Chains A and B, each alone.
Chain A
Amino acid sequence: MKGYAGRYVEVDLSRSEVKIKKLPEELALDYIGGMGFGAKTLYDLVPEGIDALSPENVICFWNGPLAGSLVPVSSKYCVAAKSPLTGMFGFGISSGYFGAELKRAGFDGIIFLGKSPRLVYCLVDDDFIKLIDAEHMRGRTTWEAEELIKEELQDQSVRVASIGIGGERMVRFACITNDRNRQVGRTGMGAVMGSKNLKAVAVRGTKAAGVADLKALRRFCKILYERCQGSATEKYRKYGTPANVLVHNKLGCLPTRNFQQSTFEHANKVSGETMLRTHVKKITACDICPIACDHVNKVDEGRYKGAVASVDYESLWSLGPNCGVSDLNAITKAVEICDTNGIDTISAGMTVSFAMECYERGLLKKEDTEGLELKFDNADAMVEAVRLMSRREGRLGKLLAEGSRRAAEIIGRDAWKYAMQIKGMELAGYSMRSLQTSTLGFATSIRGACYLRAGAYQYDIKGKVDRLRLDSSRGRLVKGGEDSYAVIDSLIICKFSRGMYKSEEELARLYRLVTGLQMNGKDLIKAGERIYNVGKLINIRHGWKREHDYPPWRATHEKLPDGPAAGAVIKMAEYDAALDSYYRARDWDKQGIPSREKLSELGIAGERMLKSSWVARALGRELLSPKICVSKRGA
């Protein structure tokens, strides 16, 4: 078995014990790597009922079989744990150099159990694995931790994934930062590291990652590199993902002021084109990437002079138009705070915009906001709220560090209507009402509101469906996208390169050339379906119900007031039909529970397959239901 290192590390932080374990070949064939390995790890090791921030949680880092090879944009890794934000399957994927370095150290992954009594970092230096005291790094930013570790090891080439003060203080959407500008952003994996007193993981490797057929792989990769330089990735290379701002705005799908509107009157001020001209100082690439999408901003003047941050579309949108902010200096500063203190920019911006709407509606008062005039369009208030939240400081910081769903529960009254979240995770920058297939994909996503689980916006945009309504044709589309993306996130390759592959057969060919394991396109998609079903089982175990697969209240109760999609709203009957069609496409029952036959067909077996107690709970016959989770029927 080539491509895979064939081994992974298991670290018990409570006992300071390290074990090296063999990676079974059947695990590779069934779950591929990355997200698939993460799902299987949580399914096997994380019991029901545990607190995500307790020592009983498990956090695992997995690269994919392509990491460390010459396959373009394959140096990625996935981190998975029970999420402190959603209480369900949490995971995030990052790029940079860390994933390939872990493979070069001779490992496919690292699993952390328990909790260290002191703050530590884990060094994986080929076969030398050690927990090293990191108490002197307490309170340090992610960038400082990375630098300190490199200095201590006297090696600038060591790769570091670390948390900042946000992770240490367990902000529920704390992220993990590696290679300075890359993040495992979503679902609060940094908070889980913080709960385990794990400040960082540092990796250094000297081994070559073997491949099965180097000659043929080289020929195929040459073609892929040429495709990566083509027109499909041109905008990522020139403008980065912020090129999307004006496109979203023209389509009426740029969520503005906490999703109240779908166009931003100052979009030109925060467009990718403007940012490139006024703020971008450097364009960088991840390991073995011919695209180079990473646009690094620097603020040259004004109150936020000196701020430096890599600003992508989602960060720009969530802290910009979503908060009514059109000041690129303030947005860059807010992203810098998020990155260095280690919190997810999307959830950060969305939680601030939630608080802004609560403030404007009188649900929050000045005494709740540390005196901030927390109104939309107030750039300085946005930056200060992000700073407080990232450090859990003050009354406002402590409230917002809980994420919008829990903050809404604490605020009470109608606040839940303005928490733009699904399963507890805040939405990304795609309007719910003007991209309705996309919204179905956000809602069925197993990690909470996410555009990266199904990419269903593509069906809305390509004109294959009417994007302003839903029907029973959408379930099959979303299911197809989810299975395909589960493969991409398990191999793991960058989604920006997905257009370089003409079919699943090309991905399978790549897999065979690297690993020597026999898989065709259908096998890969079947693995994707298996991974998604295991993710669903994890969620059912931790309290999922059908009502968690619904969009926020606003999507179904308020018509869009502006833009080319003015008047659009999601009709509940259409949504119900679309969700039913999704469950049918998955061979799940009407309540969204996988059948035992389906699980057997996918080879998901064993006594813990699907406990009847979990099903009973999902059907509402037991306790444990999050108080606020859905918009259904406008509760």
Chain B
Amino acid sequence: MKVVITLEFLEPFSDITGQSRIRLGLEGSMSLKELCTYLSEKYGGEFSDRLIKRGRLAEGMMVLVNGKGVNNLDGLRTPINPGARIVFMRTLSGG
């Protein structure tokens, strides 16, 4: 089954990918971790180096799936369903 999802990249991921938004059509359902593996193959290892440390989301980085932080969902095991909107960004910090 083709899974169409929308990905948005804020910095530093927009710098790494050179894109701010893409749509992807992927075969079958997948977890966030599998999606990250796919994106690392597409954009280079820096993508996952920045995002994942020791098998978890790196400190200071954040992924939203349909507006919710994956820390509130199932972390890297969060399922990516058809139509999902995913944002890769830094976490909020004081300013």
Contact = CB atoms under 8 A, between A and B. Distances in A.
A241 B67 contact: no
Given A232-B60, A461-B62, A246 B92 contact: no
A457 B71 CA distance: 15
Interface string B1-33: 000000010111010000000000000000000
Contacts, number: 75
19 contacts: A238-B11, A244-B92, A246-B10, A247-B62, A247-B89, A248-B92, A250-B67, A250-B87, A251-B69, A252-B67, A273-B10, A429-B95, A451-B94, A461-B69, A463-B70, A463-B71, A466-B72, A563-B67, A564-B67
A457 B11 contact: no
A569 interface: no
A463 B72 contact: yes
9 closest pairs, A vs B, by CB?
A564-B67, A463-B71, A241-B95, A313-B95, A463-B72, A244-B95, A461-B92, A247-B92, A250-B87
A168 interface: no
Contacts of B87: 250
Given A231-B60, A466-B72, A244 B93 contact: yes
Interface string B47-62: 0001000000011101
Interface string A244-277: 1011101111000000000000000000010000
A496 B93 CA distance: 9
B95 A253 contact: no
Given A452-B94, A463-B69, 7 more contacts: A231-B60, A244-B95, A247-B10, A250-B87, A251-B69, A451-B94, A462-B71
A486 to B, nearest CB: 15
B91 A461 contact: yes
Interface string A425-457: 000010000000000000000000001100101
B64 interface: yes
B68 A564 contact: yes
| Residue among A231, A244, A429 having the largest count of chain B Cβ atoms under 10 Å | A231
Interface residues of B, number: 26
Interface of B: 8, 10-12, 14, 50, 58-60, 62, 64, 66-72, 87, 89-95
B11 A239 contact: yes
Given A246-B10, A247-B10, A314 B92 contact: no
A251 B70 CA distance: 12
Interface residues of A, number: 38
A461 B62 CA distance: 9
Nearest to A251: B92
Given A250-B64, A251-B64, A457 B92 contact: yes
Given A250-B10, A462-B71, A243 B90 contact: yes
Given A247-B89, A247-B90, A564-B64, A312 B95 contact: yes
A56 B12 CA distance: 52
B16 to A, nearest CB: 13
Contacts of A455: 94
A546 interface: no
A314 B95 contact: yes
Interface in A343-367: none
A396 B59 CA distance: 46
Contacts of B62: 247, 461
